[in-house]
Structure 1
Amino acid sequence: MAEGYKDKIVLITGGAQGIGLGMVKTFAREGATVIIVDCDQEAGAEALEKLTQEKLKVQFELCDVSLENQIVDLFKTVGKTHKKLYVLVNNAGTGFQKPVPLEELLASDFDRVLAVNLRGPLLCTKYALPLLEKSNAPAVLNITSTRAFMSEPDTFSYSASKGGLEALTHSLAISLAEKRIRVNAIAPGWIETGPWEKASKRYEPKHSKADKEQHPVGRVGMPEDIAEAALFLCSENAGFITGQSLIIDGGMTVKMIYK
């Protein structure tokens, strides 16, 4: 399905663990040179060592995407090394693990989540532009969430940031159309990342029958499910697709539940 990644440069934020790491490995196995960007030095070093042992072409850059100066430095470094960029995946995210009642929500915590999940992708795209423009048929992919469309209690920051990223996706798609840069999104549902975490956080997943039956496909998602779709959306095979969001959740958001 995915063609044309050999020797092309792909940059993935939040790429050292979880869904991000799954995408890094998948793009690299297709022949891409993948730049892993993450604010976790430990996770980045682990990912780099493991993937290098597999003889995949990867490099690691430390960066907190909530900080504009670090993003500027990141793309200066990338520009000196690679000159151009074929794919930018804005995957770095934070905030879902800390539900907080509205009465206890701190403005500073809300701002931190939006800085990573929403402002970060905007600024990464901004500073990646000169490199993307030098590639043939470049693409930007934003990783949002089904939380942009549905919620559990007390997930204000995460839901708002991912909803904003959905809107930013179509805004960027229209704004960058003249530059021939396509921009799309993937909205994952329940994706099990336990085996894809760094060693100090890794765990073996245990899903109950009820967990699986929430999904019409009969299982919880895996990073590979997102990675395979990312390969397609960022390839020239998807050249007529821009400004769109693909929900990948095993059918969970379309299943009506009355009990």
Structure 2
Amino acid sequence: MAKELENKVAIVTGGGQGIGRGIVMKLLARGMRVVIADKDDDAAAEAADELGENAPDRVFGIQTDVSDEGSVRDMVAETFATYGQIDLLVNNAGHGTKEPIPVEELTLEDWNRVLGTNLTGTFLCSKHAVPHLRKQRGAIVNIASTRALQSEVDTEAYAASKGGIVAITHALAISLGPDVRVNCISPGWIVVDEWQKRSERKAPQLRPQDHAQHPAGRVGHPEDIAEMVAYLGSARAGFITGQNFVIDGGMTKKMMYAGEG
């Protein structure tokens, strides 16, 4: 099991920080060669240096704006030129607005910025990686969110983008099968404070009630998502495609009332 991903090649968008960084670490531990495609050039380079300390030839960072087709095209081309194949694409890059914005105040610019990274980025990276993935009978794993299934107030752009990722997952799975399997993960509350670049890294501040509102008894960690990515990218998941896996410690299944949690 440990060797089935060995020497295969993965692209992880948004891999410099947060959940993406955890995914990169897991895939490297499984023997893969990994390209960290991140808009934050410093985060990408720093993650490559830290996570690839013992195997610098198996990881590199490249500045990539996933909402820009030229940037995506160049990133995919450099990946193939360096490693000669692409076996797994992890569409993880994403963001929301800095603060919740009421829909009547949400600008088209903010809407397009969120959709451009989260949803259009997933489309563009898939589009340009697919010819290489077909040759390898590879896989795509998209990172959506439980916000595709439920919402907080004033988060329309983020919810729409993540719902779109769930939908494009099954669309791609039907279009690309059987050559390429495509699945999706919808994380819940994942604590990433310690998974940022050094200048922004900090210890998480969590209360007992934060853990208690999860039936699993704790909040999530990047490793929880990364483990599923590694599985879905492997031959062990060969009969799984078009699916959305909610990894949230059971939180979206728990009925909540005012004052609870």
Is TM (by shorter chain) over 0.5?
yes
Structure 1 residues 54-93: aligned runs within 5 Å: 54-55=54-55, 57-93=58-94
Structure 2: runs of 5 or more not aligned: none
Give the equivalent residue in structure 2 for 1:220: 219
1:85 deviates by 0.6
With over 3 angstroms needed to count, the CA separation of the structure-2 counterparts of 1:103 and 1:254, relative to structure 1, is same
For the Cα contact (< 8 Å) 1:89–1:141, is it kept in 2?
A: yes
**CA offset at residue 78 of structure 1?**
1.7
Alignment TM-score, normalising by the size of structure 2: 0.95
Equivalent residues in 2 for 1:29-178, closer than 5 Å: 29-55=29-55, 57-95=58-96, 97-135=98-136, 137-178=137-178
Do structure 1's residue 258 and structure 2's residue 257 form an aligned pair? Answer: yes
Displacement after TM superposition at 1:214 (Å): 1.0
Equivalent pair of 2:35/2:61 in contact (CA under 8 Å):
yes
1:194-215 superposed Cα distances (whole Å, 9 cap, x missing partner): 0000112111101111111110
Counterpart amino acid of 2:112? D
Structure 2 SS opposite 1:94: coil
CA-CA distance at 1:79 after TM superposition: 2.1
- 2-structure distance, mates of 1:223, 1:149: 20
Number of matched residues?
A: 257
2:199 corresponds to: 200
The alignment yields a C-alpha RMSD, in angstroms, of 1.2
2:253 & 2:2 partners in 1: Cα distance? 28
Deviates more, 1:215-224 or 1:79-88: 79-88
SS in structure 2 at match of 1:37? strand
Identity %: 49
Local SS of the residue matching 1:25: helix
Cross-structure match for 1:10: 10
* Cα deviation code 1:106-154 (max 9, x no counterpart): 011100110100011111011001211221x310000000000000001
In the other structure, the counterpart of 1:235 is 234
Give how far 1:3 is off.
4.7
Q: Which amino acid aligns with 2:164?
A: G
Distance 1:98 1:196 in 2: 21
- Aligned to 1:53, the other structure's residue is in SS state coil
Letter in 2 for 1:164: G
User: In structure 2, what residue type is equivalent to 1:257?
Assistant: M
